[in-house]
Amino acid sequence: MAETQRDDEDTRSDQGAALARPLPPVQPPDEPRPPLVSLPPTVAGGVPAIVSSMKHAWGEMGPVRGTFLLHKVNQKDGFDCPGCAWPDPGHRSVAEFCENGAKAVAEEGTKERVTPDFFRQWSVAELCAQSDHWLGKQGRLTHPMVLREDATHYTPISWDEAFALVAEELNALESPDAACFYTSGRTSNEAAFLYQLFVRQFGTNNLPDCSNMCHESSGTGLGETIGIGKGTVTLEDFEQAQAVFVIGQNPGTNHPRMLSTLQAAARRGCEIVSINPLPEAGLNRFRHPQEVFQLLGPGTALNSQFLQVRINGDVALLQGLGKALLEMEAERPGTVVARGFIEDKTLGFDAYARNVSAVSWDAVVARSGVPRARIQAAAELLARSERIIFCWAMGLTQHRNAVANIQEIVNLALLRGSIGKPGAGLCPVRGHSNVQGDRTMGIWERPKPEFLDALARELDFEPPRHHGKDVVDTLHGMHEGQVRVFFALGGNFLSATPDTEFTARALRRTRLTVHVSTKLNRAHLVHGRRALILPCLGRTERDVQAGGPQFVTVENSMGVVHATRGAVAPASEHLLSEPMLVARLATAVLGSRSKVPWMSLVEDYSRVRDLIARVIPGFGDFNRRVQEPGGFYLPNGPREGRFTTASGKAHFTVHTIPGEELEPGQLMMMTLRTHDQFNTTVYGLDDRYRGIKGGRRVVLMHPKDIQERGLAEGQVVDLTSHFRGETRVARRFVVVPYNIPRRCAATYFPETNVLVPVDSFAEKSRTPASKSVVITVAPSVGAPSLVEGSTS
Ligand SMILES: Nc1nc2c(c(=O)[nH]1)N[C@H]1C(S)=C(S)[C@@H](COP(=O)(O)OP(=O)(O)OC[C@H]3O[C@@H](n4cnc5c(=O)[nH]c(N)nc54)[C@H](O)[C@@H]3O)O[C@H]1N2
Ligand SMILES: Nc1nc2c(c(=O)[nH]1)N[C@H]1C(S)=C(S)[C@@H](COP(=O)(O)OP(=O)(O)OC[C@H]3O[C@@H](n4cnc5c(=O)[nH]c(N)nc54)[C@H](O)[C@@H]3O)O[C@H]1N2
Ligand SMILES: [Mo]
C-alpha cells in the first residue's frame, strides 16, 4: 500500500465531523501472489493475439453475442471500436479489430450486471478493498444509484429524483465556477456538444477532460507552431512515406491496428525508427493476426532502427538529429535543408540553427543516452527521405518539458520540409476513441473567442468568457474547498489523475460527486458528501429515441468524422443515452433559464448535428456528409501546406536541453500501460509483450541498478518519489530486471499514480508529468526480502 507523507492532516476534514467511521483506502489492494516473469516475446500479434481476443470476447459475452459484436466493430454499418482512436482503412476486412479492441468490446458487452442487489450486498468500504480488476469484472451498471449523506451503501434512485438532486446542489452554489464538469474521451460528438452547451449556459468554462492528462502537450505544441492542435497526416500518407518515426509510443499494445499500417509500409521498403527507452515487442517484429500465412512465420521486421533513449532524453536526441542534419548540409550544401520551403512557409529558422549548432555533442549523447553513431544513422535516414511521418504518444507528452518535445519534432519536420505534402507530416496518435472529437465540440476549459461567439450567435445566450479549470486546477479547487460539485461524463477521475491520495482528499471535500458510467470503478467509491452513479448506454448498444433508432458520430485521430451505430440491446432498460442524459440534466438544472429546446433536440440526434453544423467550422451539411461511407475529413490547413498561425507561417522554436534531474541514487520512473488494460480498466493481470504474468505491482529496472542498490530480482521493494522536498511512498512492488537504460525505471499506471505529484506538470500544457517521476527504491518495510518463485 502507498501513503503520502507530505501532510498527515485528517483526510476527513470538512466532510467529516459527523463521520465516525474511518475512511476506506483509496488505492487498489496488494496482490495475493507475485507475478511470473520470463523473457519478453520477440514477435507481436500472431496466434496468441487471436487466442487472447477470443478468450476475452467469449468469456465475457458468450460465443454467439461475442462473435456477433466483433463482426460489427469498425464496419461501415457498425460501431466504432471503443478502444483507441486509430483510423479505419478505406478497404475493411471482415474482422477490422485487434486483440485489445476485442477486449474493449468484451468489457462493455459483458453479460454480468451490477444491480441494486449488488449494492445492497456490498458497502462502499467493502468495495474499496477489491482490486480494479475485480470491480470491472462485476459487469454493467443497470440502475441510477445514490449514496446519501453518511450512508454506507449505494441505494437506487429514480432518474427524476437524481436530476433534481444535481439541480438542487448546482443551483445552490455561490457561483457556477464552484462546479467542475469532467469528460472522458469516449463521449460522442453529439453528447459532448450538448454537454458543453449545458455547462456554458449554467455559467462556467470548468470543463477539464482526459485530454488534459493526455495529448494536451501535443495540442499546445502544435497550435503554437503550425496553427492547429491536431496531426496533419491521413492513413493514405502511410502508403507513401519513406520513413516513419515512432517516438514514445507503444503501438503493439495501445494502437495494435497501427501495426498493420506499419507492416504494409515496411513491406514496401519504408524504414521505421523507434525512439523509446524500451524495445517494445510490437515494434520489432509483427505477425498479422488476420493474415493466415503470417500466423506462424517469423513475422515482418518493422523496426529498421531503434534508438534506446533515456527517459526524457528526447529534447537532447531531437536536437542532436537537427544538429547532424545541419552538419550534413554544411558538407553537401543545398541537399539537406529544405531552403525553399523554409523561406516561403516558416519563421525562426536562423535562431533554431544557431541553437542546435551551439549544443555540444557531449551534451546530446549524455542527456539522451544514445551513442552519436546511432543519432547519425537516424539523421542520414531523415536526410535521404523526402517523405517522413513523425508519430508520437504519451512517452513525449507527459514530461515537464513535453511541449518542447513536440516542438523539436516540428523543427525537424520543417527543416526537411516534410509537412503539408503526401506521405509526410505530423501524427500525434490519440488515445480514447473520441478524445479529439470532444475537443472539436468545445470540451475545453480555454475555449477560443470565435467558438464562444458562434455559440452566443446561434443559441442566443452570453457564454462565460473567462477560462475555466483544467484537471490540475480542478484538483486544487476541490482540495481548497472552492469547487463543491464534481460531475464526470465518463472516465475514472480518481485513478486516472495524479497524486491519488491528494485527489481522494479533494473529492471527499465536495458536496456532491456524480459519475455517468457504464462500469463500476474506484471513482464511485471515493466520493463527496453525497454521490450519484448514473448508468448510460455504451457504444455497442442500440439507441432508440422518440424519433426512431439513432446513431452518433466520432472523430478519429486523423480528423475523419464518421457515424457509429450500436448493435445489441442495452444492458438494462433503465439506461439513458449520453445525449438524453445531458438533455434531461440541462432541463432540470436550467429550467426556464435556457431557451434551448433540449428534449426536442434529443428526440432525433440529426437536430443536434444541425446545431453543430451552425456553430463549428467544417461541419457544414453535417447530416448529409456523415451518410457518406467512411465519413468526411475536417479542414486542416497545415495538411494542405497552409499554416494557420497568426503569421500564416510555421514557426521554428528554440528550447534548452533539460538539465539532469536526478540526484545520486535516484531513478527516473515512467508509468506505463500493460497489454491487459485500457487506462484504469484492468482486463487481466498479464503484460504478455513484456513477459510479465499474473501481477501488476512490478518495477522494471536495469540489472546494474538493481545490483548497485543491493537488491535482487523478485525482491519486494517500496518506491518513494521526490519532488520539491516532498516524498510520496508506494509499497510492495516486485523488482524485475529489464532491458531499460541505466537510471530509468518503469511501473504501471494507475498503481503508481500515488507517486506522481499533483504540481509536477508540463509547462504551458499543464499535463501531469507521469513519465518523469523521480524515485528511490528500497527494500520493503516489513516485507520478506525475497519472494520465492517470483521469477521463472
Ligand atoms: N489496449 C489499450 N489501448 C489504449 C490504451 C490502453 O490503456 N490500452 N490507452 C489509450 C490512451 S487514452 C492513450 S493516450 C494511448 C497511449 O498510448 P502510449 O503512449 O503508447 O501508452 P503508454 O503505455 O503510456 O506508453 C508510452 C510509451 O512511451 C515510452 N516512453 C516513456 N517515456 C518516454 C520518454 O521519455 N521518451 C520516449 N521516447 N519514450 C518514452 C514507453 O516506453 C512506452 O513505450 O493508448 C490508447 N490505447
Ligand atoms: N500515471 C499515469 N496516469 C495517467 C496516464 C499515464 O500514462 N500514467 N495516462 C493518462 C491518459 S493518456 C488518459 S486518457 C487518462 C484516462 O482517464 P479517464 O478517461 O478518466 O479513464 P478511463 O480509465 O479511460 O475511464 C474508464 C471508465 O469510463 C467509463 N466508461 C467506459 N465507456 C463509457 C461510455 O461509453 N460512457 C461513459 N459515460 N462512461 C464510460 C467506465 O465506467 C470506466 O470505468 O488517464 C491519464 N492518467
Ligand atoms: Mo489518453
Q: Whose CA is nearest to atom 27 of ligand 2?
A: 491
From ligand 2's centre to the CA of 676, what distance in Å?
14
pLDDT band at 578 (very low <50, low <70, confident <90, very high): very high
From ligand 3's centre to the CA of 528, what distance in Å?
26
What phi and psi, each to the nearest 5 degrees, are found at residue 290? -100, 5
From ligand 2's centre to the CA of 491, what distance in Å?
4
259 pocket-lining for ligand 1 (C-beta < 6 Å): no
Query: Residue length, the chain?
Result: 792
* Ligand 1 atom nearest to 671, measured from its CA: 24
* Ligand 1 atom nearest to 210, measured from its CA: 12
Question: What does pTM read for this prediction?
Answer: 0.95
Distance CA 529, CA 509 (A): 7
From ligand 1's centre to the CA of 162, what distance in Å?
37
CATH fold label, 216-428? Dimethylsulfoxide Reductase; domain 2 (3.40.228)
pLDDT band at 22 (very low <50, low <70, confident <90, very high): confident
Query: What was the pLDDT predicted at 84?
Result: 82
Q: Indicate if the pLDDT at residue 395 is higher than 80.
A: yes
Of 27, 103, 518, 532, which is best to mutate to test ligand 2, by the most ligand atoms within 8 angstroms of its C-beta? 518
**Rounded to whole angstroms, what are the CA distances from 765 to 211, 212, 449, 503?**
10, 7, 19, 20
From ligand 1's centre to the CA of 96, what distance in Å?
22
- H/E stretch holding 43 reads strand 43-45
Mean pLDDT value across residues 714-738: 97
From ligand 2's centre to the CA of 780, what distance in Å?
30
pLDDT tens per residue across span 325-384: 999 999 999 999 999 999 999 999 999 999 999 999 999 999 999 999 999 999 999 999
Q: Whose CA is nearest to atom 31 of ligand 2?
A: 518
506 pocket-lining for ligand 2 (C-beta < 6 Å): no
Q: Could you tell me the residue ranges of all domains in the chain?
A: 2-37+666-779, 44-109, 113-213+436-536+576-635, 216-428
Residues 6 or more apart from 789 whose CB is under 8 A from it?
Answer: 34
539 pocket-lining for ligand 2 (C-beta < 6 Å): yes
The architecture (CATH level 2) of 113-213+436-536+576-635 comes to 3-Layer(aba) Sandwich (3.40)
pLDDT band at 787 (very low <50, low <70, confident <90, very high): very low
494 pocket-lining for ligand 2 (C-beta < 6 Å): no
pLDDT tens per residue across span 504-514: 999 999 999 99
Q: Whose CA is nearest to atom 11 of ligand 2?
A: 214
Query: What was the pLDDT predicted at 40?
Result: 84
220 pocket-lining for ligand 2 (C-beta < 6 Å): no
The amino acid that residue 434 corresponds to is N
Query: What was the pLDDT predicted at 42?
Result: 77
Query: Which has more pLDDT, 603 or 44?
Result: 603
**Rounded to whole angstroms, what are the CA distances from 162 to 166, 431, 527, 532?**
6, 31, 16, 7
Q: Tell me yes or no: is domain 2-37+666-779 CATH 2.40.40.20.
A: yes
Q: How many CB atoms lie within 10 A of CB 8?
A: 8
Fold identical between 2-37+666-779 and 113-213+436-536+576-635? no
* Ligand 1 atom nearest to 248, measured from its CA: 39
214 pocket-lining for ligand 2 (C-beta < 6 Å): yes
pLDDT tens per residue across span 487-530: 999 999 999 999 999 999 999 999 999 999 999 999 999 999 99
Q: Are 281 and 738 in contact (CB under 8 A)?
A: no
* Beta pairing, strands 512-517 & 530-535: parallel
Distance CA 214, CA 496 (A): 10
398 pocket-lining for ligand 1 (C-beta < 6 Å): no
